[in-house]
Structure 1
Amino acid sequence: MGGDGLRYIGVAERRARLAVRHRLAGEARAGSPEEVAGSLVALHGTDPATVFLAVGARLADPVKTVGATERALYEDRSLVRMHGMRHTVFVFPTELTAVVHASTGLAVAARERASLVKDMAKAGAPDAEWLREVEASALSALARRGEATAAELARDEPRLREQFAYAAGKSYEGVHTVSSRLLRVLGVEGKVVRGRPLGSWTSTQFRWAPAPEHPELDPAGAQAELLRRWLTVCGPATEADLKWWTGWRVTEVRRALAAIGAEAVGLEEGTGYVVAGDAGPVSEPGQPWAALLPGLDPTAMGWQGRDWYLAPSLRAALFDRSGNVGPTVWWDGRVVGGWAQRADGEIVWRVLDPAGVGQEAEAAISAEAERLRGWVGATRVTPRFRTPLQRELAG
């Protein structure tokens, strides 16, 4: 017990939880992309390749990564790429879309639409009524097509091509097309989602598709459900972790914690929380494990406080200036280095934190690199947000 009477959960136990619940230990690997996404709640989708690399790192049979993930996203629609927490694109299990929309999307959507209308008014562009007409026409065209690029929709609704200036006189002034801003707003509002891209699984040229129908939920109830799911996977976590991951106000975080009856526990950095009944000890994985996780992986980006699995001395090499993590090498619950793919397809890696990384670890990391190279094949993957070590290794 901690000095304040709370059960203390140390670093070793947190790493054991991470190993199993994040499907990283060998015995915990999943059988399908849906299992991976369900276990993690959300996969970062800002960089399309991250989704596939994050899935592949956690599948028992990674050879089926691309085909199974594309089928889940674009045929079965059991996974959906949409805006979520912190106004970021994620891939969610389809059954979670209503929860995400109500818990995090509604407030952001209202701000985004108001900002678009305001920017158009400043530029002397048509008014909100005109925008609603274009929106209705574009959504009808998308429903007819099933999937479409912005350019294809603009052939059906030419007003989407119209442009307006924004931030006149500012250092960041520029020109937006109606389509780029409106489709973004419709995405946050839960009316459209990203569809199959033009090109391979690494392509950023997405088509758009109608969003799956879902019930409108009570925002407070949806927040409680989203926090319960995330805390089940990532607990224990501090209030600061929860606020950062969700993007909510601290009052919303506290209300959701109370709603699910979360239990307080002691952590190295202070008070943390787990879901009710989850404060007890957990078993260590059967064997030490290695993993090569992609940039923006949901485990590496899962908490605001990361010192328990990532030494502060490694951050300069592994993060870009905006705080995006690059490709990481893990050994038994902590980040020990980074990796990259070279132009010839070779997967190269480097240990930056050698403490505890002996021959067993080196052999396991090498095996993971070969495993990754085996299923990625001829595809070349460059992270969207490049970091110092990744650039150096890619050479």
Structure 2
Amino acid sequence: MIKFLDLYKINNRFRDAFQASFSKSLDDAHFILGNNVSTFENEFAAYCGTEFCVGTANGLDALTLILKGYVQLGKLQKGDKVIVPANTFIATILSVLHAELVPVLVEPNPDTYTISVDTDKALFREAKAVIMVHLYGQLADVGGFHKIAQDFNLLLIEDAAQAHGATSNLNNRKAGNLSDAAAFSFYPTKNLGALGDGGGVTTNDSELVDVIKLLRNYGSEEKYTNKVIGFNSRLDDMQAAFLSIKLKALDRDNKRRREIANAYLKGIKNSKFKLPFYDGSENHIFYAFVVEVDDRTNFTEFLNKNKIEWLIHYPIPPHQQEALNEFSHFKLPLTEKIHKRIISLPMSPVMTEHDIQTVIDVLNTY
């Protein structure tokens, strides 16, 4: 069986370092917002090229706290509209709702699957913010959305949950430093994944950082003194230690993912598949290698028979989820078509050359 993502092999590479870090943390006995968190926050901010990083409990909270922070600062108001790609993971939309804002779902670019700059400009005129989702590890049209944000006076926010280390062709800046503020997830499957949940916010806005630090810790700067209605959303100290260890390997792992993607793109010669768009640059870290196919059910059965694991990111578009029934009236034919056709192939930095070639050969015989 060729695994879709072998988390054991990925993390076993760091076993000795993990164990040493755990022992040190056990001796330090500072488990909440300790030195490991501040160390990782500084390291990840430096990696992204931003002044600040604030660790949170998960990626959803990171994005929610950005939006809540802007509401707290008066840059957004309850009920303001936020432009969001319709084909994103539901967490992006949930963050807008949790912040008591109104998500406006728009169609993606059909080639990159990221939010389209060709969205009706009337929607931008009515909005106060736009969330660029760097879906599957590929940066959205950063230059295009910077111009839109400037033209329509919008806050520009990155959902970089799948894009750790992706680098823009325009200015050589990394995801997390391409907007007013960015949210990351460190869920175990991410290119930079913890051994549990985790998230973070990167930004150059010191005011926003102060508010998010307040909000993530019950609205408190001083124990038992609460300034605002806050949350409990702190990056776990042990997970921060693990992330610091894995951060050192992130660029190498991303490079390997791009090598695998290039092998797939060159080797798969079957017109039944629409292969992902890739310009060959570092703006894509291939969190997922996503293809489109007409009869997905038949194809998944074929993969199962050939012992190749797969995943669908994501089988049901958000506006068709029961939880978001209020958005079912949105007319999103491209999004609905994509969600019926996409499937993700095995992709991880620990795949062997034999694994890669097997996937290519199996797809060419479909």
Per the shorter chain, which TM-score range? Answer: under 0.3
Larger-Rg structure: 1
* Greater relative contact order (CA < 8 Å, ≥ 6 in sequence): 2
